[in-house]
Chains A and B, each alone.
Chain A
């Protein structure tokens, strides 16, 4: 009984404020004459026309997501591979660190015009932009994670003769995975930003392109639907990332809890 009540309360807590905000938005803009702020009812009504009933989902949204996916995946492979290499060797780390610190500090959006020169305005450019922005948090977090592998585990692995790919997978990557996943999370949110920016700067399709196109043609209601869609996309991708994190790091959360419980 009490359990059920607590469950209701949790649901209430999760839904109350979002609902209040939505209702406020709906009511306050209900007879809005403002050019920039059309009524929410109109925006929601337009979603159907703009996104669902046209081919925009396959022409604009899908290519955007595919580019994001390709860029992110490439960045993960490069970041983890380089990160393991750099993190495992003290000399290599000392050699690379200042350069990495500098490259990481360059705000990734400025690479859009740079890569446009090299790779034109096609898909290659956009994927490269996404890779060049995502790779740094993944790389640097992997380096940190690999560097901090438990000495005792390293010695133990040596005693048991663990080497080669098995050592890499079961010892190095596993130990570094909390940091690697933190890097993935940061990388993904930068990747979304770069996906949008690269399309806003120069493109002929994509989510960012269509939103900026709506703005340039003063189609304000359509623009708002695009903003909402992009917001929803950001939220969904972050949720997926969190589900992945739960799954991949289940052992780690358990370990941490056990350590905390044990020390008390």
Chain B
């Protein structure tokens, strides 16, 4: 299609594309500015009482104050620690279990119903158990985070292992690759995109559960700080903390996508994206 275009036509199309990209960025910036402006104006006009939603400028001041406190940085470290440890455990366990179950058909057949039953159990159901057994320790947070994130990874790994091209599998067998080599060179590369999708989903869920555990159980971290600020009536501070959790969420998403790009740079789906 594009090869039939004459050179000037192609150039003008490229120009139009970059113009479109620029206007998209501009609109995005404009949209965000509008959002921020609304957050400032709505409480000032009294549409929502400033007692409940302080103007953005006051939240900004609270945010600036927060960054000067040592306790705030400890809280962030605590949250990130619970998130990261839980995610690593869940990902490792999910990949290991997924590969074992996925590559052995009998296991797959006999575990399917159990997985389908356990997966939708909301991990928050474990909160009271975590409180009783572990109290407000890090282990409480980890229990919830790992339970929630594990299924995300496991299910994606199972899809991925199932997706292996039978011809590639047969070819590898013909070339005399043993079981381990086949997993390493055929199954793993096929499953990797799925694994990374699982990691991305798990990373987001893990952050939600880490902050939930802190909020409800009272384990140290941002969630707990939000609870304290709310019960102490420090409204602007509470909103500032909520914004910080949002920024943390954005950072987690970006990080997961970066990881995906980096580990899958060889994959056709990404190569096409770069070429286009």
Which of A's residues lie within 8 Å of B, judged by CB?
13-18, 21, 36, 91, 94-99, 101-114, 116-118, 189, 192-193, 196-197, 200-201, 208, 211-212, 214-215, 218, 220, 223, 226-227, 230-231, 234-235, 237-238
Contact = CB atoms under 8 A, between A and B. Distances in A.
Interface of B: 23-24, 27-32, 34-35, 48, 51-53, 109-114, 117, 119-129, 131-133, 207-208, 211-212, 215-216, 223, 226-227, 229-230, 235, 238-239, 241-242, 245-250, 252-253
Contact of B120 (A101, A102, A234): A234
B31 to A, nearest CB: 4
11 contacts: A13-B112, A13-B113, A94-B24, A94-B31, A107-B207, A110-B215, A113-B229, A192-B122, A200-B124, A212-B128, A235-B121
Nearest to B25: A94
B28 A227 contact: no
B133 A110 contact: no
Nearest to A239: B120
A202 B28 CA distance: 37
Contact of B113 (A17, A94, A214): A17
B112 A105 contact: no
A211 B125 contact: yes
Nearest to A215: B128
A198 to B, nearest CB: 10
Contacts of B124: 193, 196-197, 200, 208
Given A105-B253, A230-B125, A98 B31 contact: yes
A36 B105 CA distance: 37
A61 to B, nearest CB: 14
**SS class of chain A's interface: helix, strand, loop or mixed?**
helix
Contact of A107 (B51, B52, B117, B212): B212
Contacts of A215: 128-129, 131-132
Given A94-B27, A105-B250, A106-B249, A230 B223 contact: no
Nearest to A192: B122
Contacts of A235: 117, 120-121
Given A17-B114, A95-B31, A110-B242, 15 more contacts: A13-B109, A94-B24, A94-B27, A95-B30, A99-B31, A102-B246, A106-B242, A107-B208, A117-B230, A189-B120, A192-B122, A208-B124, A211-B127, A220-B132, A227-B129
Contacts of A109: 208, 211-212, 215-216, 223
A94 B44 CA distance: 28
A238 B120 CA distance: 6
Nearest to A214: B128
Contact of A113 (B23, B51, B227, B252): B227
Contact of A118 (B52, B120, B207): B52
Contacts of B226: 110, 113
B122 A230 contact: yes
B145 to A, nearest CB: 12
Contacts of B27: 91, 94-95
A238 B239 CA distance: 33
A23 to B, nearest CB: 13
Given A17-B110, A196-B125, A234-B121, A113 B250 contact: no
A168 to B, nearest CB: 24
Contacts of A107: 207-208, 211-212, 245, 249
